[in-house]
């Protein structure tokens, strides 16, 4: 392994993590939506709709940009995505009405974040050997998780001092400039590097045979891909039912006005779950690890309505973040294990259409339930049921099938 290539690989790893840190601003939507409701008198449904539309265009952009990223490299897609992400936020601050924000946040920012997301994990996976896939994926996606530690108190401070409009403008301008700058350092490995082995060219290692590279059309025909897709859709919907409403849940359930603190807590454990999930998935069977995560999250969701104190709801939020975050490192690792890395950009985008579906179902379902019943209890039970379905599906996936394809 050449020293120069190793330096480049580590540079791409940490730059990708930094870019993801910036895009993590979408996870402070519960703070933003709470301000839209209290400051501008929006309904919960109106405040949730821009985020729902964002998730749709997020995954559409991932699929389209994934193919471009595989061919042209991540620098181009990440730069365009950064411009769109920041511009959408700035436009939202200039024109704050429900209809306009569907376009600015939903379409423009959503497309930008999707383009960025498919420009970070895929190149990193291509740079590193199979035995490090889980770990490096965990590090990259942890950038998104930890960002709310900064963004949540910043957004809370800004909304309380300058209002929601200027908050969106300031955050959008900062995100645009910083992400465009960092995007210039992203790149795919040289084309002559071995896909599936990448930096580690030691073919003598047992269990490291080259995985066949599937393009997305071949991948979607494989029986286990649809199972993975459903597991991601169900688990994402369950997690986002809670994550997108943390501030409101805290205010309604325990009467605490400082829900943004729990957004920070969620972010910390979301990050921990991403790193820990990635590291553990390199040591134990990845599908088994997902099953354990789903079971823990299902129990947590079932019990969430009983978290009637700040201490209890803090524990529930921590578990939610830990379990939700783990999936973001384990699913991509399973994908590259099973379908190779050559077409990983577009394959990653296709798989994450499941996350997009979960993003539509989860927050909007919770919003409709709270508007109708003034309680999140039905949402908690629905989330638990979705996770149980994911557990049942996981038992139908055989390790041998995933390895041999």
Is the pLDDT at 106 greater than 50, yes or no?
A: yes
* Residues paired with residue 198 on neighbouring β-strands, in sequence order: 194
* Residues paired with residue 194 on neighbouring β-strands, in sequence order: 198
User: What pLDDT, in 10s, does the model give residues 339-355?
Assistant: 988 888 889 889 989 98
* pLDDT at 167 (0 to 100): 93
Is the pLDDT at 252 greater than 60, yes or no?
A: yes
| 17 contacts 140 by C-beta, under 8 angstroms | yes
* pLDDT at 209 (0 to 100): 52
Confidence category of residue 192, pLDDT binned at 50, 70, 90? low
Is the pLDDT at 259 greater than 80, yes or no?
A: no
Under 8 Å CB-to-CB from 286, ≥6 apart: which residues? 134, 330, 333, 334, 337
User: What pLDDT, in 10s, does the model give residues 274-310?
Assistant: 999 999 988 889 999 999 999 999 999 999 989 989 9
User: What pLDDT, in 10s, does the model give residues 71-98?
Assistant: 888 999 999 999 999 999 999 999 888 9
User: What pLDDT, in 10s, does the model give residues 196-222?
Assistant: 444 444 444 334 455 688 988 999 998
Stated pTM of the model: 0.78
Is the pLDDT at 254 greater than 80, yes or no?
A: yes
Tokens found for residue 244: 């997108």
Q: Report the topology of domain 3-191+214-396.
A: Growth Hormone; Chain: A; (1.20.1250)
Confidence category of residue 399, pLDDT binned at 50, 70, 90? low
- Measure the CA–CA gap between 58 and 114, rounded to whole angstroms: 4
Which three-class secondary structure string do you get for the chain? CCHHHHHHHHHHHHHHHHHHHHHHHHHHHHHHHHHHHHHHCCCHHHHHHHHHHHHHHHHHHHHHHHHHHHHHCHHHHHHHHHHHHHHHHHHHHHCCCHHHHHHHHHHHHHHHHHHHHCCCHHHHHHHCCHHHHHHHHHHHHHHHHHCHHHHHHHHHHHHHHCCHHHHHHHHHHHHHHHHHHHHCCCCCCCCCCECCCECCCCCCCCCCCCCCCCCHHHHHCCHHHHHHHHHHHHHHHHHHHHHCCHHHHHHHHHCCCCHHHHHHHHHHHHHHHHHHHHHHHCCCCHHHHHHHHHHHHHHHHHHHHHCCCHHHHHHHHHHHHHHHHHHHHHHHHHHHHHHCCCCHHHHHHHHCHHHHHHHHHHHHHHHHHHHHHCCCHHHHHHHHHHHHHHHHHHCCCCHHHHHHC
* pLDDT at 205 (0 to 100): 38
* pLDDT at 24 (0 to 100): 83
User: What pLDDT, in 10s, does the model give residues 110-164?
Assistant: 999 999 988 998 889 888 887 788 889 889 988 887 887 888 788 889 999 999 9
* pLDDT at 82 (0 to 100): 97
CB burial of residue 257 (10 Å; 0-12, 13-18, 19+) = exposed
- Measure the CA–CA gap between 90 and 169, rounded to whole angstroms: 4
- Measure the CA–CA gap between 357 and 379, rounded to whole angstroms: 16
Confidence category of residue 194, pLDDT binned at 50, 70, 90? very low
CB-hemisphere CA count at 13 Å for 132? 17
């Amino acid at each position: 392994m050449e020293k120069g290539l190793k330096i480049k690989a580590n540079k791409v790893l940490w730059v990708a993590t930094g870019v993801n840190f910036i895009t993590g601003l979408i996870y402070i939507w519960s703070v933003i939506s709470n301000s839209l409701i209290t400051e501008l008198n929006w309904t919960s449904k109106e405040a949730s709709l821009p985020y729902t539309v964002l998730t749709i265009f997020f995954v559409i952009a991932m699929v389209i940009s994934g193919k471009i990223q595989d061919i042209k490299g991540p620098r181009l897609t990440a730069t365009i995505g950064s411009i769109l992400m920041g511009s959408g936020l700035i436009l939202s601050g200039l024109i704050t009405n429900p209809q306009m924000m569907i376009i600015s946040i939903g379409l423009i920012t959503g497309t930008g974040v999707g383009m960025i997301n498919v420009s970070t994990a895929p190149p990193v996976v291509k740079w590193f050997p199979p035995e490090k896939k889980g770990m490096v994926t965990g590090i990259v996606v942890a950038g998104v998780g930890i960002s709310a530690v900064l963004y949540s108190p910043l957004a809370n401070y800004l909304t309380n001092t300058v209002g929601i409009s200027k908050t969106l403008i300031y955050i959008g301008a900062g995100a645009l400039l910083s992400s465009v700058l960092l995007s210039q350092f992203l790149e795919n490995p040289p084309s002559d590097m071995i896909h599936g082995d990448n930096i580690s060219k030691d073919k003598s290692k047992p269990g490291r045979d080259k995985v066949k590279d599937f393009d997305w059309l071949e991948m979607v025909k494989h029986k286990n891909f649809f199972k993975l897709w459903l597991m991601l859709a169900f688990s994402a919907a369950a997690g986002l039912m809670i994550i997108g409403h943390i501030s409101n849940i805290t205010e309604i359930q325990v009467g605490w006005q400082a829900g943004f603190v729990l957004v920070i807590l969620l972010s910390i454990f979301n990050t921990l779950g991403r790193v820990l999930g990635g590291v553990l998935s390199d040591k134990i069977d990845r599908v088994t690890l997902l099953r354990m995560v789903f079971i823990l999250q299902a129990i947590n969701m079932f019990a969430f309505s009983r978290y009637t104190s700040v201490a209890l709801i803090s524990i529930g939020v921590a578990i939610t973040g830990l379990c939700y975050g783990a999936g973001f490192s384990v699913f991509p690792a399973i994908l590259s294990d099973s379908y190779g890395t050559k077409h990983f950009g577009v394959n990653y985008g296709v798989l994450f259409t499941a996350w997009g579906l979960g993003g539509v179902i989860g927050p909007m379902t919770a919003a409709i339930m709270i508007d109708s019943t003034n309680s999140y209890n039905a949402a908690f039970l629905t989330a638990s049921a979705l996770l149980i379905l994911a557990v049942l599906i996981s038992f139908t996936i055989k390790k041998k099938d995933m390895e041999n394809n």
